[in-house]
Amino acid sequence: MTSSSTSSSAVRSSAKHAAERIQQHLPPSNPASLSSSSLNLPSKTSIAASINHSPRPKERPSSTASSVSAASPSTRRSGTPVHRSQSKDFDEDNDPGRVRVSVRVRPRNGEELKSDADFADLVELQPEIKRLKLRKNNWNSESYRFDEVFTDTASQKRVYEGVAKPVVEGVLSGYNGTIMAYGQTGTGKTYTVGKIGKDDAAERGIMVRALEDILASASSASSVSVEISYLQLYMETIQDLLAPEKSNISINEDGKTGEVSVPGATVVNIQDLDHFFQVLQVGETNRHAANTKMNTESSRSHAILTVYVRRAMNEKAETGTKSPKPESLGDKGIPRVRKSKLLIVDLAGSERINKSGTDGHLIEEAKFINLSLTSLGKCINALAEGSSHIPTRDSKLTRLLRDSFGGSARTSLIITIGPSARYHAETTSTIMFGQRQQQLESSAYKEKLADASKVYEKKIADLVQRVEDEQARSTNAEHQLNEMKNILSNQQKSIHDQEMGNYQYQRELAEATYTYESKIAELQKKLEDEHARSNSAEEQLRQMKSIISDRQVLSQENEETNELKKKLEELSQMYESTVDELQTVKLDYDDLLHQKEKLGEEVRDMKERLLLEEKQRKQMESELSKLKKNLRESETVVEDKRVKEDLPKGPSESGALPGSQRSHGLKKSLSGQRATMARLCEEGMILSREFSLILFWGNPIDIFVSTSVSVGVQKILHLIKSEDLEVQIQAVKVVANLAAEESNQVKIVEEGGVEALLTLVQSSQNSTILRVASGAIANLAMNEKSQDLIMNKGGAQLLAKMVTKTDDPQTLRMVAGALANLCGNEKFLKLLKEEEGIKGLLTMAQSGNIDIIAQVARGMANFAKCETREIMQGRRKGRSLLLEEGALEWLTSNSHIESASTQRHIELALCHLAQNEANAIDFKRTGSVTEIVRISVESSRDDIRSLAKKILRSNPQFSS
Ligand code: ADP
Ligand code: MG
């Protein structure tokens, strides 16, 4: 049930009565407020004092309509003109005194958007039918009618047009008017009414828009003045917002005319909209400042903007127009003034203020605010009821409004609500505030309601008729049913009779049944057979499926096979590269074998030389013994002679015979030689013998031998440092022989042999020593451990220097061999180059000696192989170090050399270098690509040919 329907018939009749009365008392075409004063508009400063509103009694005039047209001020009421303004809404109701009520919902703010989803559940806006549905409790909701329902998307312009424009038009036509905003704080009263929107015209509120319209109308007629005052009403005290120092302004009511004025208030004549913006802004600022000073909020005070419109009326001009007639006529042609005013009120927040606070100020404040709003409500109520007494005296707010609402004045109330379930209670009370006079007032609505009731009553009557019809039909049906029942029982009886007669048939039936049953059994058997068949078919199907799935597995396996194939391909690629490497290793191995053979030859040479030397030594020994024998003999002869000549026995201190002296020196020197030789023989012989043993046995893992060697090596190395050149030479030779055997190399290195040999090479000028020592170093350079030592001790540099120190081909061959061995260790590539080992090798190659060149080629191959391996494994990149020394040119120009093994080394070196793409430019520059092509065809070795072919295939720079 809607609240509107609660209105009793008594209320309805009273509203109707009020409406009638208002119509009876419609005044004739009297202007709103005309004074006979001339249109000398006051200056801004004197404006407040000079404003003189025409009398406008609030009370209904006691005189009849016709008497209103009389000039008596006491019977004048503010304009309820004969002609109606264009605002059809007010016309429709034919009741200017009715308070127009609209409702507006504020858009949700951020917080409400986030947390408040229930609002739609509580309030439902129906703008098309101008209704608002409010949920009362869990079970029902009520629907209220408004003049306008604005949703949260309604623009300021639409609100102005729906709420304020009719009132503004009334004011321009000479009637007073009031526009008020009522609602809980924060729901948009100030936004709706007072928003300035100086820069954004769309945002402007009612005050600004009203002034725009009024000023526009004023500009079209020069005789119009527009003035404003802006007041604040707080705790029943009026403050002037345009002159804050005026803090207790009193209200003046003309006893005769009922006109309300505020003589103390500042009145400002408004020139244009910009001027109004300024004044309004001042007012806003003062309102804010005043509230701060009073320690309150603007929501607790009412802001009242009054717009005074005065229009000079020329009687002549007025004749024939539909404008309200000037009521006071002066002499002909003297202009009269028609005055009207518009009050725009931003009411205090409607929320109930807690009166139980302990703060006395708050209690007072609550009392006053509640008072003014309550009193406003009462006035609206009385107005709606058409009561003869409007209780405006109760508060200052209603006193101020007295001549501007009800009667001929137009009043519009906009109530604002917030879109949140939280405000439910306040929203409800706000809506009830706006609604109570709405429902009381709306006779048209009530008529509609009555019409609707009639419609429904008719519908109900129809329904009742239909129910009655239905009842008649059902009685009829019942009757028919009984008849049917009778027929049925009769038929049952006859069936029973027939059953008795059916016995024979039953027998026949039994027979037939038997026949059919046996047929069924047969069929069942068949069915079973079929079942079995189908089972076997199923079984077959299953097998097929499993075959298929096997196939699938197979195909999966196929995929796996493919994968395996791929892997296999990868593996075979790997295999190929391994084979390549293997070939390289094989080449190395061959090389080593070759070297071993050569070394074997050298060792044999050495052995022969040793045997020769031993033979010489034996000869020397025998000569020595002969010499000894001769000596003894000559001594005996001398002794005999002395005995014979009776000479003293020993040599005298003072003078010995020269012959005897000579023989004594000789003796001494001989004995020194003897000692050296004896020592040398003793040690050298042992070592040489042991060395021979090692050579013959090939695999000399013999404790005796190795122990002897270890003892011997120490001694021999000691002898290397001897100052006796012969001893040094012999010692170096022994060391060289020992170093030829791998098993001795470690021992020699451990005993400091490398250092001793390097020192020798550095310091000695003797060519034999240099040659033999170089050979020893070359042998030791085959051992990795000694390679480390050689390089660490600056061996590469020393060896390279030998190039300048000697031109003995034998020595140089040894040096080249040593360097070539060092080239086979990837650790030393950079160091070898830096210490000029490569340069040394290439210099030696200029000698033209075939043996030296063989070593150089071997060194190049070793170096290139190590370097390329490093590059392939990503440990090094860039152009080969060999190229900087001109190795490529040398290799290319010597690749046709006669010696097969040297050529092989050169070819290998070229192929290794060609594998490094960073060398490609050099290959092109030196024409070495042609050489690779030649090798791929002509090389005597299969493996080298295939290596060259592979390079040509894989390196795009070479294939072009
Ligand atoms: P009140 O005067 O009733 O206390 P305000 O007018 O100050 O409320 O409005 C509270 C806030 O909501 C203000 O920030 C105002 O700008 C905003 N607001 C109110 N109504 C609207 C609207 N229709 N559209 C946009 N913002 C609004
Ligand atoms: Mg406000």
Distance, in Å, from the CA atom of 901 to the CA atom of 878, rounded to the nearest integer, reads 29
Q: What is the pLDDT of residue 686?
A: 45
Q: Given a cut of 90, is residue 105 above it in pLDDT?
A: yes
Kindly give the number of the ligand 1 atom that is closest to the alpha carbon of 299: 4
Q: b vs e for 243-260, b when ≥16 Cβ sit within 10 Å of the residue's Cβ? A: bbebeebebebbeebbbb
Kindly give the number of the ligand 1 atom that is closest to the alpha carbon of 195: 6
Q: What is the CA(156)–ligand 1 centre distance, in A? A: 11
Kindly give the number of the ligand 1 atom that is closest to the alpha carbon of 156: 23
Q: What is the CA(127)–ligand 1 centre distance, in A? A: 20
Distance, in Å, from the CA atom of 286 to the CA atom of 865, rounded to the nearest integer, reads 98
Cβ-Cβ contacts under 8 Å for 425 (sequence gap 6 or more): none
Cβ-Cβ contacts under 8 Å for 217 (sequence gap 6 or more): 172, 224
527/358: higher pLDDT: 527
Instruction: Check whether 837 is labelled as a binding-site residue.
Output: no
Ligand nearest to the CA of 205: 1
Q: What is the CA(194)–ligand 1 centre distance, in A? A: 10
Instruction: Check whether 186 is labelled as a binding-site residue.
Output: yes
Amino acid at 405: F
pLDDT tier for residue 252 given thresholds of 50, 70 and 90: very high
Instruction: Check whether 157 is labelled as a binding-site residue.
Output: no
Ligand nearest to the CA of 185: 1
Instruction: Check whether 714 is labelled as a binding-site residue.
Output: no
Residues comprising the chain, all counted: 960
Which of the residue ranges 225-234, 392-401, 511-520, 834-843 would you say has the lowest mean pLDDT? 511-520
Instruction: Check whether 712 is labelled as a binding-site residue.
Output: no
Q: What is the pLDDT of residue 533?
A: 82
CB neighbours of residue 876 within 10 Å:
18
pLDDT tens-digit series, residues 479-490: 888 888 888 888
Could you tell me the two tokens for 592? 């080593």
- CA-nearest of 94, 89, 62, 92 to 75 is 62
Kindly give the number of the ligand 1 atom that is closest to the alpha carbon of 159: 23
Q: What is the CA(103)–ligand 1 centre distance, in A? A: 14
Q: What is the pLDDT of residue 96?
A: 64
Instruction: Check whether 668 is labelled as a binding-site residue.
Output: no
Q: Given a cut of 70, is residue 54 above it in pLDDT?
A: no
Q: What is the CA(330)–ligand 1 centre distance, in A? A: 49
- CA-nearest of 811, 869, 863 to 837 is 863
How is residue 760 annotated by DSSP? H
Ligand nearest to the CA of 191: 1
Which of the residue ranges 328-332, 432-436, 573-577 would you say has the lowest mean pLDDT? 328-332
Ligand nearest to the CA of 158: 1
Q: What is the mean pLDDT of residues 821-847?
A: 91
Q: How far is CA 508 from CA 32, 168, 498, 499, 505, in A?
A: 115, 106, 16, 14, 5
Q: Please tell me whether residue 21 adopts helix, strand or coil conformation.
A: helix
Closest residue CA from atom 22 of ligand 1 = 106
pLDDT tier for residue 310 given thresholds of 50, 70 and 90: very high
Ligand nearest to the CA of 351: 1
CB neighbours of residue 123 within 10 Å:
24
Q: What is the CA(80)–ligand 2 centre distance, in A? A: 32
Closest residue CA from atom 18 of ligand 1 = 188
Instruction: Check whether 406 is labelled as a binding-site residue.
Output: no
Could you tell me the two tokens for 825? 């260790």
Closest residue CA from atom 16 of ligand 1 = 191
Ligand nearest to the CA of 184: 1
Q: What is the CA(186)–ligand 2 centre distance, in A? A: 7
Ligand nearest to the CA of 287: 2
- CA-nearest of 172, 151, 150, 152 to 85 is 172
Three state DSSP letters for 260-282: EECCCCCCEECCCHHHHHHHHHH
Ligand nearest to the CA of 284: 2
Closest residue CA from atom 12 of ligand 1 = 188
Closest residue CA from atom 19 of ligand 1 = 188
Q: Please tell me whether residue 321 adopts helix, strand or coil conformation.
A: coil
Q: What is the CA(416)–ligand 2 centre distance, in A? A: 11
Phi, psi of 178, deg, nearest 5: -135, 135
Q: Given a cut of 60, is residue 428 above it in pLDDT?
A: yes
Q: What is the pLDDT of residue 842?
A: 92
pLDDT tier for residue 5 given thresholds of 50, 70 and 90: very low
Q: What is the mean pLDDT of residues 189-214?
A: 96
231/633: higher pLDDT: 231
* Substitution site in 102, 104, 105, 106 for ligand 1 pocket (most atoms within 8 Å of beta carbon): 106
- CA-nearest of 761, 858, 746 to 806 is 761
Q: What is the CA(299)–ligand 2 centre distance, in A? A: 5
Kindly give the number of the ligand 1 atom that is closest to the alpha carbon of 109: 12
Q: Given a cut of 90, is residue 327 above it in pLDDT?
A: no
Contact 937, 945 (CB under 8 A): yes
Q: What is the pLDDT of residue 940?
A: 87
pLDDT tier for residue 295 given thresholds of 50, 70 and 90: low
Q: What angle do CA 804, 864, 758 make, to 5 degrees?
A: 35
Contact 260, 399 (CB under 8 A): yes
Cβ-Cβ contacts under 8 Å for 893 (sequence gap 6 or more): none
pLDDT tier for residue 685 given thresholds of 50, 70 and 90: very low
Q: What is the CA(177)–ligand 2 centre distance, in A? A: 21
Kindly give the number of the ligand 1 atom that is closest to the alpha carbon of 104: 23
Q: What is the CA(291)–ligand 2 centre distance, in A? A: 12
Q: What is the mean pLDDT of residues 131-142?
A: 82
Pocket lined around ligand 1, Cβ cut-off 6 Å:
106-107, 183, 185-191, 299, 416
Kindly give the number of the ligand 1 atom that is closest to the alpha carbon of 416: 3
Q: What is the CA(106)–ligand 1 centre distance, in A? A: 7
Helix axis angle, 753-763 relative to 703-720, nearest 10°? Answer: 30
Q: What is the pLDDT of residue 355?
A: 52
Q: What is the mean pLDDT of residues 942-952?
A: 89
CB neighbours of residue 226 within 10 Å:
23
Q: What is the mean pLDDT of residues 484-508?
A: 76
Q: What is the CA(303)–ligand 2 centre distance, in A? A: 9
Distance, in Å, from the CA atom of 634 to the CA atom of 761, rounded to the nearest integer, reads 46
Kindly give the number of the ligand 1 atom that is closest to the alpha carbon of 187: 3
CB neighbours of residue 403 within 10 Å:
30
Q: What is the mean pLDDT of residues 546-553?
A: 79
Contact 31, 175 (CB under 8 A): no
Burial of 548 (0-12, 13-18, 19+ CB in 10 A): exposed
Q: What is the CA(418)–ligand 1 centre distance, in A? A: 9
How much of the chain, in percent, has pLDDT values that exceed 70? 75
Distance, in Å, from the CA atom of 883 to the CA atom of 868, rounded to the nearest integer, reads 13
pLDDT tens-digit series, residues 640-660: 766 665 544 444 333 333 444
pLDDT tens-digit series, residues 344-383: 999 998 886 655 555 666 667 777 777 888 899 888 888 8
Could you tell me the two tokens for 325? 């007639």
Kindly give the number of the ligand 1 atom that is closest to the alpha carbon of 185: 4
Could you tell me the two tokens for 88? 């059809």
Q: What is the CA(133)–ligand 1 centre distance, in A? A: 22
Kindly give the number of the ligand 1 atom that is closest to the alpha carbon of 183: 3
Q: What is the mean pLDDT of the chain?
A: 76
Q: Given a cut of 90, is residue 283 above it in pLDDT?
A: yes
Query: Would residue 615 be called left, alpha or beta, if left means φ above 0 and alpha means ψ between -120 and 50 degrees?
Result: alpha
Instruction: Check whether 190 is labelled as a binding-site residue.
Output: yes
DSSP output for 622-662: HHHHHHHHHHHHHHHHHHHHHHHHT--SSPPSS---HHHHH
* Substitution site in 148, 150, 191 for ligand 1 pocket (most atoms within 8 Å of beta carbon): 191
